Amino acid sequence: MQPLFLYNTLTRKKEEFKPIKPPLVGLYVCGPTVYSDVHLGNCRTFISFDMIYRYLVHIGYKVRYVRNITDAGHLEGDRDEGDDKFAKKAKLEQVEPMEIVQKYTVGFHDVMQAFNNLPPSIEPTATGHICEQIEMIKEIIAKGFAYVVDGTVYFDVEKYNKDFSYGQLTNRKLEELLEGTRELSGQDEKRGRLDFALWINAKPETLMRWPSPWGWGFPGWHIECSAMSSKYLGDVFDIHGGGMDLQATHHTNEIAQSQACNHKAPVNYWMHTNMLTVNGARMSKSAGNGFLPGELFTGDHPLLEKGYSPMGVRFFMMQTHYHSTLDFSNEALQASEKGFERLMESHNTLQTLKAGTTSSEDIKALQQKCYDAMNDDFNTPILIAHLFEAARIVNSANDNKLTVTQNDIDTLKNIYQHFVFDVMGLKKEEENSKTTAVLDKVIHMVLDIRNKAKVEKNFPLSDEIRNKLTDAGVQIKDTKEGSSWKI
RNA sequence: GGUCCUGUGGCCGAGUGGCUAGGCUCAGCUCUGCAAAAGCUGCUACAGCGGUUCGAAUCCGCUCGGGACCUCCA
């Protein structure tokens, strides 16, 4: 296996990836909180990690990919009052909290499928792991890094920082973190400003609550990921991923919880995907500048000029490195849509490409370049650049401007299959095969008539047929072998 | 206010101390009855000012612009 390098947030360096027990790899990614529709920023993270997962599998690793569903305990702010997001939404919509969870979980899965994301190996829910979370909190208290106030359990950050380093993931010292000039409001219970809740006391009217050694309540936001990742991947595992916005708070606290429990750093490689922006500003729930995946597909949103296919959007995302911000604009989206079509078209051409006896191209070298790109921190933009080189070779060979052997063609087919479809997870847009078959016959009938007109040099008629087909959305391609069409 | 990231040609976006990524757009050419498609060619950029270096878009400093985190968010 060739060495794979990835950027590790923990060390702020590109490092060679060395799993704990090859070929096994443990991968944990923070999943969605299912109290509303997923928005596009979440999708970018999940699409990026889907690509990473696919590549790890492609190069031979046996990956256990865990992505959680947060369906409880996620408070608005770290206050020890009020309901969690699900209960709030449930009261608003006059339904059971678990109805909210169910509705948006199903919606989330639909979107993941539309983007052709593979399902994770395990998709655990927070509500399904209350016991594990309670056990972990008990352990943290036993180790002396948490305290209880009126049925709420807090993590003692300053005490923890004496033995370990709290801000290591963001490269910050505790004193710096404490220096923030934020007002201390409604936080009288907590000993330290940075302390966060592990378990939150709940009043009887709270809809979602569970019994615990500290009374009825519900878990804090950060504990679920620590409890579930260690349950399914072990106390120390290979890769933990998520959006960059989780780095400073959520992931920092995850490390603290696990380390307080086991006295071991839980994760060897932390990977963070960058944010999605719209007109230069981060797309976020609170900013309200986002659109939903569904709106993106249909184009039904003021910011969108038209609808964009899920695969076009996925390709667009792949053209930017996962670690860079990605700005959404109609212009950029349409540009990459065209590029994607051209790449797919060249794949069609490849299927009927005729082999020559000599070769003028080094296809094996091109294939190696594709691996080099991916091995360098999953550099899909570079990979795509090489794939367009492959497309150029295919098209040129098809025009008899260069020659490739059967061996080359087989390698090219492998390149497309492995990198375009298997690793980047792109696929050709679904067509209704039955309808398409009929349509194909009809259009070929029309093209036959047009060809007769052309032979008779009745160009006004042949052009009229072509123009009308174009108006109907059918593009005609004339070649020496005859005419073909596409939508 | 604190911490950090970033500024690339018409647009989007990679990237390494020296060998012009790629896509889209635009112009020209080849092919074609004309187009389209495809191929070829051209448009050759790295915010500004200093510094290090034989050589910097790539390293350092300053200035200006954009953004993120510190508060729920992937």
* Listed ranges A242-251, A288-297, A405-414, A423-432; the one with the highest mean pLDDT: A405-414
Protein CA at A245 to nucleotide C1' at B7, angstroms? 22
Last residue of a domain, one of A370, A403, A423: A423
Stated length of chain A: 487
Pick out the nucleotide with least CA–C1' distance to A328.
Answer: B12
Last residue of a domain, one of A389, A423, A457: A423
pLDDT at residue A13 in the model: 84
Residue A324, in any domain of the structure: yes
DSSP lists the bridge partners of residue A283 as none
Mean pLDDT of chain A: 87
pLDDT tens digits, A90-146:
777 778 888 889 999 999 999 999 999 999 999 999 999 999 999 999 999 999 999
pLDDT at residue A233 in the model: 96
Same domain, A153 and A33: yes
Residue A414 binned pLDDT confidence (cut-offs 50, 70, 90): very high
What three-state secondary structure class fits A234?
coil
Residue A179 binned pLDDT confidence (cut-offs 50, 70, 90): low
Same domain, A131 and A260: yes
Same domain, A228 and A320: no
* Listed ranges A39-53, A63-77, A167-181, A421-435; the one with the highest mean pLDDT: A39-53
* CB of A33 nearer than 7 A to strand B: yes
Mention every residue, 6+ apart, whose C-beta is less than 8 A from residue A462: A450, A451, A453, A454
Given the structure tokens 């309808």, which residue do they identify?
A435
Protein CA at A483 to nucleotide C1' at B63, angstroms? 61
pLDDT tens digits, A311-351:
999 999 999 999 988 888 888 899 999 999 999 999 999 99
Same domain, A407 and A326: yes
Q: What is the mean pLDDT of residues A425-439?
A: 77
Two tokens at A280? 């230069």
* CB of A389 nearer than 7 A to strand B: yes
* CB of A391 nearer than 7 A to strand B: yes
CATH number at residue A241: 3.40.50.620
* CB of A186 nearer than 7 A to strand B: no
Same domain, A360 and A232: no
pLDDT at residue A183 in the model: 45
pLDDT tens digits, A450-469:
888 888 888 888 888 888 87
Last residue of a domain, one of A273, A304, A339: A273
Same domain, A239 and A306: no
Same domain, A241 and A367: no
Q: What is the DSSP string of A116-168?
A: TPPPPSB--BSGGGHHHHHHHHHHHHHTTSEEEETTEEEE-HHHHHHHS-TTG
Protein CA at A327 to nucleotide C1' at B49, angstroms? 30
Spatial separation of the C-alpha atoms in residues A475 and A477, rounded to whole Å: 7
Same domain, A284 and A332: yes
Residue A74 binned pLDDT confidence (cut-offs 50, 70, 90): low
Give yes or no for a contact between A223 and A198, defined as CB atoms under 8 angstroms apart.
yes
Q: Is the pLDDT of residue A181 over 60?
A: no
Two tokens at A21? 């027990």
Domain that holds residue A324: 278-423
CATH number at residue A330: 1.10.730
- Give whole-number Cα distances, A346 to A153, A350, A353, A358, in Å: 59, 6, 10, 21
Q: What is the mean pLDDT of residues A194-206?
A: 86
Q: Which nucleotides of B are covered by protein (CB under 7 A)?
A: 1-4, 10-15, 21-25, 32-40, 66-74
pLDDT at residue A426 in the model: 95
Looking at the structure of chain A, the number of domains it has is 3
Strand B contacts (CB < 7 A) among A residues 439-478?
454, 459, 462-463, 466, 475-478
Question: What is the enclosing helix (H) or strand (E) of A318?
Answer: helix A310-318
Same domain, A91 and A137: yes
* CB of A185 nearer than 7 A to strand B: no
Spatial separation of the C-alpha atoms in residues A266 and A236, rounded to whole Å: 4
pLDDT at residue A280 in the model: 67
Strand B contacts (CB < 7 A) among A residues 45-64?
45
pLDDT at residue A374 in the model: 95
Residue A428, in any domain of the structure: no
